[in-house]
Structure 1
């Protein structure tokens, strides 16, 4: 009797839900277990016994709170500056119909998906005393870190807030103007309250990225400015103090958790009627004096987002005041001390493997969440997006201390880096795919099932044709995020087989003009490849509506 009841209960579970077992198992082994291992390590004493207060004693040291204070302070300052620079760009994307708007979207998006180590070396080169912007005197100051964070994160504000702004009906703002409000008053009293949830959510995400910034702070901060992220890395790699690194990881998890909670609560107030509002035509071509603010915002985009990469490219072909391609020759040459060619091939291989792994698991997870109902769908989405709430360095550290305990030791496997990179890419794949799958009319799937189609046939004939753009975009983002991943990979890459971002990080710490030239050439190569993939992604998603 009981087995029949169980069987009848099991049949009520949609078939697609079971597809989530594999992604859940992957995250359980390679994410949840390493994070739990970090927590245990932080609560273990030097003798191996339990020491619940050990982490508290480590975190009570004055130096730790100084690092934590700088982490939060620079993240707050970076978030405020990013918000000030990003809101005008969000307005431009949402309200202004410009020719070549696709180019603008690419220019805004590329910095966000650049490897953090590339962003770090970019600002280190252009702000150096002998660099194009050396006259500003910002080299070695906290302003270099803040500007790099603005450059890196402005797309989060522009694309996230802009997507919501584009859905707001302009008639409410126009009614306020008719009643005598100035343009600023109409924006402050009508538009800003409607945008507040999106602004809070995007700001929390920017704070999260700035608080967990690794490559930028490591390159620009040196030994003078350190965050929790860089300190975890240094305590592990240089000091070999795993207990201190674990305690710092716990503190970082709490900080990030607070930012994630704020972002989640803020998202509850977001509008969901975007397509209907967009249909009413919210963008207008500027005329006459309206071009003035448009030109000013385009100037901000050019100065903050376009000029730095161009200056890096120019500097990479200059040495001693003369033109040279020595860095690119060494980068593309086989062999040599820098092993740059091997690092490029390693980056492409691991990024491709990680993108395939993340796309497959992300599709399974997205289908399972779409098929689920109520609390199970919410819980599944939260669990699969959890890696976004833990920094890449913490993930790499956790894998570093747990991989040797598996039945099959993966520490020397070529899959270890793709696994780490896929952990970070899977949430992005799920986030891109879920809106597209949820937008499919369930009646289409039911009709196909009534006609005898299997679940796989339903997916191939209904979901895939309607969601292929989102699938291609998800795969593209998974590839470029994996290509530039630096935090977790820096823990796991073997000395003789680094990826290109890891090699760049090593080269800029070595003395000698030759190492610096190769590092700059590698940074430009990653920049060009990233821009090319983003251009393809943006072309594919033309006509789609959704947030970044």
Structure 2
């Protein structure tokens, strides 16, 4: 009995402890409910903030495009879309547009393949240098690239004897030069993040280097290759400056035909019909890209161990990379000093940088371009971050549709958007057209899709349990984002900002319709100088192009300093 009596208090204390534990469980349930309440509040905040990017896209993209469509329908005199399509040879234009885009994509993959291998096998410093080299062409104004290749294939150029002037081959080569960055950044980053042990095991078991590559490495790169190919196809199908300059009027895509119908003939119904056809193509390509691209995010985010492979092979590929990447840029530099083939060497192009054109010197134009691009960078990062958060929280059809819509502004004709702005601004007070924020907003519209593509994978890589733990401990939505999300995504966020600046400073299409004295950007000035006859104007355009190359190179170096290894890297 004594023993039993001694046990009773212990049992009561244990029961009390159990009750306490039960109460602790209730407290845990309460904390869980608080976590649920935090999650609900977070979802409400995200839902409210989603309105901002939707409003931005609605005002600066949907409104002008919709206004152009309405105007075209109003002046079409009842002519149907099919009649307009037949009159403009829309199906022939569609066929050539798709064919040259497919050919350009294939050429880009072939040209980029050795550089991808070099990026994947060289040191980190060399890889960064290569990334800078491939990115500069991607963000140069297309008119500059078109003029560089025109100088290469035209009489007096290095390849003038091949008869490529005005040929489809010159268009494909220029597109490959422009889009090498897409393939190298997507596929090269995926290759560098692969675990090398599987390939080393295959080599240990007797596989040749080629067989180890085709059986172990290549299967893991199929999805990144398809993703990069879809993006290159999208960019080439909407190419404007390259086809306009190198096509010599013999070859036209839907994009250049829109420009011809709108500017040359002022036939808005025909231009809008072609634009609608192009939008359908863009939506299809974006849908394919969106179906493939998310799979590239699931890559092990660590650097592969350094592998020393054939120094001689790396040297040969390095020479190839220099020829492909530096060759066309060196032509721009040479033409800035020697505007005409066989002409005199002169610094007149660089002297003209301090002479006023329409009341503004090219150096002042460069200053405005940089300031405008900085504002566009801030705006695009804010809008892109909010959109990326909304897409990261979305599920199912909403996520798929949202991802597709986020890329559409990047692929729709800049001519279409620019004409839409003219129509919209004509119905608004005169002060709106001179609003200082108009051009940065338009530049940000083009940069937002790229910002989303850089930030979204970083957000997706954050473990949800970290957010849930912070919310359970009482942190509000803003504090959760500031203490959990921001420290993990600040590098991609900074890289996306640098990329947005590069895109904004080189934007030419829609900005050209909105430029006014005092708000002319450097790409617009280059385009106008190229349209004026004379060696002096060509020298000025090429000298301004060299300035663009320098500014772009500096921005790319800054971007690369923040770049993180990511399968979704662009």
TM-score category (smaller protein)? 0.7 to 0.9
Distance 1:140 1:498 in 2: 30
Question: For the Cα contact (< 8 Å) 2:189–2:565, is it kept in 1?
Answer: no
Asked whether 1:222 is paired with 2:244, we answer: no
Question: For the Cα contact (< 8 Å) 2:297–2:566, is it kept in 1?
Answer: no
Asked whether 1:411 is paired with 2:471, we answer: no
Question: For the Cα contact (< 8 Å) 1:16–1:368, is it kept in 2?
Answer: yes
Equivalent residue for 2:461, pick from 422, 435, 439: 439
Structure 1 equivalent of residue 46 of structure 2: 16
Structure 2 equivalent of residue 195 of structure 1: 221
Structure 2 equivalent of residue 75 of structure 1: 101
Distance 2:38 2:353 in 1: 62
Residue 339 (structure 1) shift: 4.9
Distance 1:544 1:164 in 2: 7
Distance 1:420 1:252 in 2: 20
Distance 1:152 1:486 in 2: 15
Residue 210 (structure 1) shift: 0.8
Equivalent residue for 1:33, pick from 58, 63, 85: 63
Equivalent residue for 2:390, pick from 350, 368, 387: 368
Q: Classify the secondary structure of the residue corresponding to 1:413.
A: coil
Asked whether 1:508 is paired with 2:530, we answer: yes
Give RMSD over aligned pairs. 3.0
Structure 2 equivalent of residue 86 of structure 1: 112
Distance 1:446 1:532, change over 3 A: same
Structure 2 equivalent of residue 240 of structure 1: 266
Structure 1 equivalent of residue 323 of structure 2: 303
Question: For the Cα contact (< 8 Å) 1:428–1:478, is it kept in 2?
Answer: yes
Structure 2 equivalent of residue 207 of structure 1: 233
Question: For the Cα contact (< 8 Å) 2:293–2:568, is it kept in 1?
Answer: no
Per-residue Cα deviation, 1:106-165 (whole angstroms, up to 9, x for no partner): 112221122212212222233332334444443333222221111100111111112222
Structure 2 equivalent of residue 4 of structure 1: none
Question: For the Cα contact (< 8 Å) 1:404–1:410, is it kept in 2?
Answer: no
Asked whether 1:529 is paired with 2:551, we answer: yes
1:178-189 equivalences under 5 Å are 181-189=207-215
Question: For the Cα contact (< 8 Å) 1:98–1:285, is it kept in 2?
Answer: no
Q: Classify the secondary structure of the residue corresponding to 2:249.
A: coil
Question: For the Cα contact (< 8 Å) 2:495–2:562, is it kept in 1?
Answer: yes
Question: For the Cα contact (< 8 Å) 2:297–2:567, is it kept in 1?
Answer: no
Distance 1:297 1:132 in 2: 22
Distance 1:364 1:266 in 2: 23
Structure 1 equivalent of residue 278 of structure 2: 252
Q: Classify the secondary structure of the residue corresponding to 2:265.
A: coil
Distance 1:532 1:445 in 2: 36
Distance 2:248 2:513 in 1: 18
Structure 1 equivalent of residue 4 of structure 2: none
Q: Classify the secondary structure of the residue corresponding to 2:510.
A: helix
Distance 1:12 1:333, change over 3 A: closer
Asked whether 1:359 is paired with 2:389, we answer: no
Distance 2:138 2:223 in 1: 22
1:31-180 equivalences under 5 Å are 31-41=61-71, 43-44=73-74, 46-47=76-77, 51=78, 54-61=80-87, 63-97=89-123, 100-174=126-200, 176-177=202-203
Distance 1:318 1:425, change over 3 A: same
Equivalent residue for 2:307, pick from 261, 284, 293: 284
Structure 2 equivalent of residue 3 of structure 1: none
Distance 1:490 1:230, change over 3 A: farther
Distance 1:543 1:84, change over 3 A: closer
Residue 328 (structure 1) shift: 1.1
Distance 1:367 1:265 in 2: 19
Per-residue Cα deviation, 1:92-115 (whole angstroms, up to 9, x for no partner): 212343653321221122211222
Distance 1:373 1:317, change over 3 A: same
Question: For the Cα contact (< 8 Å) 2:350–2:540, is it kept in 1?
Answer: yes
**Structure 1 residue runs without a partner (length 5+):** 1-6
Distance 1:140 1:12 in 2: 57
Distance 1:35 1:274 in 2: 41
- Greater Cα offset, 294-303 or 496-505: 496-505
Residue 301 (structure 1) shift: 0.8
Structure 1 equivalent of residue 480 of structure 2: 458
- Greater Cα offset, 420-429 or 356-365: 356-365
Distance 1:179 1:460 in 2: 49
Residue 422 (structure 1) shift: 1.2
TM-score, normalisation: structure 1: 0.88
Question: For the Cα contact (< 8 Å) 2:422–2:513, is it kept in 1?
Answer: yes
Residue 76 (structure 1) shift: 1.5
Structure (1 or 2) with the larger CA radius of gyration: 2
Distance 1:147 1:323, change over 3 A: same
- Greater Cα offset, 478-487 or 347-356: 347-356
Distance 1:274 1:482, change over 3 A: same
Q: Classify the secondary structure of the residue corresponding to 1:440.
A: coil
Residue 233 (structure 1) shift: 1.6
Distance 1:516 1:246 in 2: 33
Residue 249 (structure 1) shift: 0.2
Question: For the Cα contact (< 8 Å) 2:338–2:539, is it kept in 1?
Answer: no
**Structure 2 residue runs without a partner (length 5+):** 1-36
Question: For the Cα contact (< 8 Å) 1:42–1:250, is it kept in 2?
Answer: no
- Greater Cα offset, 226-235 or 518-527: 226-235
Question: For the Cα contact (< 8 Å) 2:359–2:517, is it kept in 1?
Answer: no
